[in-house]
Amino acid sequence: MKVSLITLLFAFWTLGSWTQVSSFIDEVDPNIGAAHSRWFFYTPAANPFGMAKPAASTNGHYGNKWGWEAVGYDQRHTSIESFVNFHEFQIGGVAVMPSVANLQTTPGSLESPDEGYRSRFSRESELAQPGYYRVKLDDYDIMAELTSTPRVALHRYTFPESKQAHLIFDIGNRQGESGAVTDAFVHRVSETRFEGFVQTLPEYVKNYQPGAQVKMYFVAELDHSPKGFGTFVGKETQPSSESVQGPGCGMYFNFETKENESVTVKIGLSYTSIANARLNLKTEAADLDFDQAKKQAQDYWNSMLGRIAIDGGQAADRIKFYTGLYHALLGRGLASDCNGAYVKNNGVIGQIPLDENEQPLYHHYNTDAVWGAFWNLTQLWGIAYPDYLNEFVNCQLDIYRDCGWLADGIASSKFVSGVGTNFMGQVIASAYNRGIRNYPVDLAFEAVWRNETGWQNRPQGVGKADTQVFLERGYVPYAENTAYYTGSSAEASQFSASHTLEYSFSAYAAAQMAQSLQKDSAYKQLIALSSGWEKLFDPSTGFIRPKDIQGNFLDNFDPYQVWRGFQEGNAYQYTFYVPHDPEGLIKKIGRKKFTQRLDTLFLKAQETAFGGGKTIDAFAGLQNVYNHGNQPSLHIAWLFNFSGAPWLTQKWVRQICHEFYGNDGIHGYGYGQDEDQGQLGAWYVMASMGLFDVKGGSDAEPNLQLGTPLFQKVRIQLHPDFYPGQEFVIEVKGNPATQNYIHSATFNGKSHTNFQLSWDDFIKGGRLILNASDEPNKRWGTK
């Protein structure tokens, strides 16, 4: 992942012409929402989309029971146990910890830090920025600093004067979402270099691809020769031992340090081999010292964040904006090496095609499920990062070539479906619809078609285990299913109604791609499937309602009830899950009734800050009428645009931005809500710019719905490899901090009265001027 010439040009343009922000990284606060946060979330020293994510961990070795719960770094904790280098969905490992005095080789507990090598710390000594992290370890008087290149972690530890200074490399223990360690190895190969691996069995891999495991390799290089070394397994140490293998193993190095003497370690990482970890280290960091790597990382962050420049508005909102953008560029990290090697689903090493300069044409990435990502991440990537979205598609097509299926979520190419569905077809179709097509299009449609209609010998790990019954009936019937991760079989599903709605939506996206490619037979079948939601609409209640195997609506229906037909939500929320046909849903409910019902819903949701209130739990808002802390609700506030009341979209989107999102460790993305790899942050970025697509790019000719930005100006750089325009600028006339409503608008000097702007107009660039007002203009955007 090289910083290309065009990226640097983007950076120079941004930093040279935008006066509001002298350095975009200064507007990011990684500690926002850092209580009850997911494993990837707190990794400030990483590069954008980096493999190396060295970060402080307060409870990473505790692991988590189901594989998804919050673990790693919690703002409420007062001690740090180590600094871990791999941080991805279902992936974690290779921990480092400095210490002085007596050597300890286990981390100890949060309740009793002195029992292990962990150390207390204070927030006052902590500095977190994109590309850099620093904290004082109070128990040892050691300053710890972290930075990275895309595939190399750099640690610098500044010690007090001590004859008993140590660096502890804890390799063989569970970290975060990694799951149990099944094997580990570390070997000293020279006075200052050592290498090894850790192999784990993540909970999701264990359930979605039984027998598969995730292996992480490393090569580490010290800049100081140690005075001594040894290995350990748990608390048992072996001084002067040069290698050790097995769960619980690690290696330590002893130093005699002067006051303020620093020891730096560079750690090359890889998922394929020790040799490629060594190559990554040599290629990216052989000639870099710590400060040079830090500058390079922060310059890269500035260039990526600076693709969207904002001016004006409230300082707190600008910090929310760039912190959200930071998380959207952080969550899904590199999985391939600098030479294009990657791990195939079956464990064999694959190779990305190379260009004429022997450089990979694209890269591979790890990813959580893209459940709901079409309302945040993929929209944002399409707008400002089409180069990354294009790479993401190519990565998925390699997986399709390798195993015959698109993967909903992957950890080093192993299946980690996440929620038992699969929206990767929608992601690919939406990229195609947006004109992002630098990949084999025929193969892409083949993969999309199979994802939507293939059921024979479909692996559990690619999701949609109930595809066959959806094809046969046009909806999925309900049956209780105790399978925790999928809840589905070929005949029925615990999540029958939500699956019907999801499959209808993704079929629609695939249908538009089929029609564009003149695949008429496929189009007809897919567009018929896209109306499956209608089979579950109950006119007597006005809700989407699950049906049983016999085709009857379930009795004892409670629209607040979670899990009975609905995954991580209920009928109040999921009834609005018809993003591809909002007009059809509005017609069934009635336009006036629809608007009134939606407005009442948000009045009720506001009582709990549009989520779970102040309860710190990822699922706190599941039973509410609206839950911004989880994906199924994220488009609902924008539906007023389609019912003839766009001013209510402008009102409620603004309220969600102000009340759900906060600026501190506890109140960040809700109160400890589930920020799945940048999705809630990306939603805020889209909403605060006043841009959104309810259909998530699924239309053959996509549109962007308009809202009121929170800033005076927004300038989006359009990538020259994908779009004909240079930039798209939004300017607000009035006070965006207090004036919530659009009174009138012009686009490129002409009156604009539609609540939508076509994607084609967006990518050609131009200037959208919105005249803001205190009171709603109930005529604007209604024709």
605, 622 Cβ separation under 8 angstroms = no
Residue 673 is predicted with a pLDDT of: 76
> CA 504 to CA 473: how far, in whole Å?
12
For the stretch 286-295, pLDDT in tens is 999 999 999 9
The whole-angstrom distance between residue 594's C-alpha and the CA centroid of its chain comes to: 32
Q: Which class for 782: exposed (0-12), middle (13-18), buried (19 or more C-beta within 10 A)? A: middle
Structure tokens of 50? 């980096």
Cα 426 to Cα 377, 506, 763, 782, distances in angstroms: 13, 5, 21, 29
Indicate the pLDDT class of residue 676, thresholds 50, 70 and 90.
confident
The residue-averaged pLDDT of 256-285 equals 98
Residue 606 is predicted with a pLDDT of: 98
The residue-averaged pLDDT of 450-476 equals 97
DSSP letters spanning 195-264? EEEEEEE-HHHHHHSTT--EEEEEEEEESS--SEEEEEETTEEEET--EEESTTEEEEEEEEE-TTEEEE
Structure tokens of 551? 């085709």
Residue 672 is predicted with a pLDDT of: 75
For the stretch 317-352, pLDDT in tens is 999 999 999 999 999 999 999 999 999 999 999 999
Sheet hosting strand 180-188, strand order edge to edge: 127-129, 132-137, 142-148, 152-159, 261-270, 214-222, 193-201, 180-188, 243-245
Residue 484 is predicted with a pLDDT of: 67
Beta bridge partners of 556: none
List the one residue out of 159, 168, 189, 147 whose CA is nearest residue 249: 168
Cα 521 to Cα 431, 443, 469, 511, 515, distances in angstroms: 22, 17, 20, 10, 9
Cα 181 to Cα 14, 93, 174, 215, distances in angstroms: 45, 9, 6, 10
For the stretch 622-667, pLDDT in tens is 999 999 999 999 999 999 999 999 999 999 999 999 999 999 999 9
Residue 567 is predicted with a pLDDT of: 96
Cα 75 to Cα 53, 98, 321, 665, 670, distances in angstroms: 18, 21, 21, 6, 15
- Per DSSP, 490 falls in state S
Check whether 148 has a pLDDT greater than 90: yes
For the stretch 488-509, pLDDT in tens is 999 999 999 999 999 999 999 9
What's the chain's average pLDDT?
Answer: 95
Check whether 2 has a pLDDT greater than 50: no
For the stretch 679-727, pLDDT in tens is 999 999 999 999 999 999 999 999 999 999 999 999 999 999 999 999 9
The residue-averaged pLDDT of 153-172 equals 98
For the stretch 96-118, pLDDT in tens is 999 999 999 999 999 999 999 99
430, 698 Cβ separation under 8 angstroms = yes
List the one residue out of 101, 54, 103 whose CA is nearest residue 80: 54
The whole-angstrom distance between residue 485's C-alpha and the CA centroid of its chain comes to: 19
Residue 22 is predicted with a pLDDT of: 63
Sign of CA dihedral 589, 591, 592, 597: positive
Check whether 11 has a pLDDT greater than 50: no
604 C-beta neighbours (distance < 10 Å), count: 13
The residue-averaged pLDDT of 312-321 equals 97
536, 544 Cβ separation under 8 angstroms = yes
> CA 94 to CA 92: how far, in whole Å?
7
Query: H-helix or E-strand containing 703?
Result: strand 703-706
Check whether 91 has a pLDDT greater than 50: yes
466, 476 Cβ separation under 8 angstroms = yes
Indicate the pLDDT class of residue 481, thresholds 50, 70 and 90.
confident
